[in-house]
Structure 1
Amino acid sequence: MNKIIARLAFAFSLLAFVSCENDMEAILKMDKQAAAVEEGKDIESIYSQLGKVKAKLTAPLMLRHMQPPVYVEFNKGLKVLFFNDTLQVESTLTARYGKYFENDANIYLRDHVVVINKKGERLDCEELNWDSKKEIFYSNKAVRISTVTDTLYGTGLESNQDFSNYTILHPSGPFIIRDSTTTQ
């Protein structure tokens, strides 16, 4: 009886050994692909220029793709606080998706992008680009800006980083043009 069990065990192990052949190239390729992405959770990052804190980014998940071109992806959303020289919050940015290109320091944002400045003015758009070196936002997509007195619509936008000075490139819809020569 023990010989029969031993022969069956040997036969099963031989069968398992023969049927579990792996392609080494496929294994190395899978390993290389897995190693090409770094993952971080509950991210908090401080951005500074010339020794001054400019922004603080928080995100639940960050994926850094190591294959050229190297980029960092925030596919579960992100929030950025922009600071002035006295570390007061000048504006806040949120988006459901962000992609940071390390070579040129540009950031692409999409999916319910919102920027709010310290005056309470709010930008809503589906796509926004941020050039962190030039400290500007720009878009060629539809935008909506809500102010205390008005809601502005258009396509395309250029703005400084704290969203205190912005231009809608192609405004649309009804809006009031105020006479700058009158005082009120």
Structure 2
Amino acid sequence: MRVHKSIGIVSLVFIALLCSCESNFKDVQRINSVAFSPSGETENLNLKYTDSGRVKAILVSPLMLDYSNLEYGFNEFPKGIHLTLFDEKGKESHVVSDYAITYAKTDIIDLQGNVKITSNDGKKLETDQLFYDQKNEWFYTEKNFKFTDGAGGFIQGPGIDFSKDFKIFNMQRNSGEGEINNVE
């Protein structure tokens, strides 16, 4: 009888300890969730970037979450973006995606989901994910892409990187059809 009471007491202590650990675990989870709470939220964002009095870009998004309070701060656009870029002559190019995230320290923008870039002269690039290096003004992806030149030609395949003006391309494996002009 004594052995059974001892086992019962040990079992109760063990269960109490488990319940105590569960409570502590939930506290730790709650602390971590607070650490990744945005420091700010902006709904219906319509941001105009100007330089010397000229509008250079307009960023529109239904929601922006600001995590700049973190060591490696970032801004998240969970409902996507529509970015209009203006060149020196005022011609527009457009970038759209279902999701985007910008990293402050690296100046990298990660665009995801139905990413489309349309230039003012009819060129279009479509992919599932595209990164933009703002410092070097360079786009790149390892995902499958399709680029159409606006004149009926296209290139497609996995992996591409290119300059923001679509003038310099580096591709891995691709296929397509089109007309080649100005070959020196």
TM-score of the two chains, using structure 1 as the length reference: 0.71
The alignment's C-alpha RMSD in Å is 3.1
Deviations 1:39-95 (A, max 9, x none): 110011223567764321110000112322110000101011111124331x11000
Identity of aligned residues (%): 21
Q: What is the SS of the residue equivalent to 2:31?
A: helix
Describe the shift of the 1:55–1:108 C-alpha distance in structure 2 as closer, same or farther (beyond 3 A): same
The 1-side partners of 2:33 and 2:123 are apart by: 48
- Consecutive unaligned residues of structure 2, counting only runs of 5 or more, are 1-23
| Pairing 1:71–2:104 present | no
- Find the counterpart in structure 2 of residue 15 from structure 1: none
Residue pair 1:144, 1:152 contacting (<8 A) in 2 also: yes
TM-score of the two chains, using structure 2 as the length reference: 0.71
Describe the shift of the 1:124–1:35 C-alpha distance in structure 2 as closer, same or farther (beyond 3 A): closer
Residue pair 1:152, 1:171 contacting (<8 A) in 2 also: no
Residue pair 2:163, 2:169 contacting (<8 A) in 1 also: no
The 1-side partners of 2:82 and 2:106 are apart by: 21
Describe the shift of the 1:158–1:54 C-alpha distance in structure 2 as closer, same or farther (beyond 3 A): farther
- Find the counterpart in structure 1 of residue 31 from structure 2: 29
| Pairing 1:167–2:165 present | no
The count of aligned residue pairs is: 158
State the Cα distance separating 1:132 from its structure 2 match. 1.5
After TM superposition, list the pairs within 5 Å mapping 1:1-184 onto structure 2: 26=27, 29=31, 32-33=34-35, 36-48=38-50, 53-65=55-67, 66-89=69-92, 91-147=93-149, 148-161=151-164, 163-176=165-178, 178=180, 180=182
The 2-side partners of 1:68 and 1:181 are apart by: 49
The 1-side partners of 2:101 and 2:130 are apart by: 11
The 2-side partners of 1:125 and 1:31 are apart by: 32
Amino acid at match of 2:63: L
- Consecutive unaligned residues of structure 1, counting only runs of 5 or more, are 1-22
The 2-side partners of 1:63 and 1:119 are apart by: 33
Residue pair 1:52, 1:85 contacting (<8 A) in 2 also: no
The 2-side partners of 1:167 and 1:98 are apart by: 23
Describe the shift of the 1:77–1:31 C-alpha distance in structure 2 as closer, same or farther (beyond 3 A): closer
Q: What is the SS of the residue equivalent to 1:164?
A: coil
Describe the shift of the 1:160–1:181 C-alpha distance in structure 2 as closer, same or farther (beyond 3 A): closer
Q: What is the SS of the residue equivalent to 1:154?
A: strand
Q: What is the SS of the residue equivalent to 1:57?
A: strand
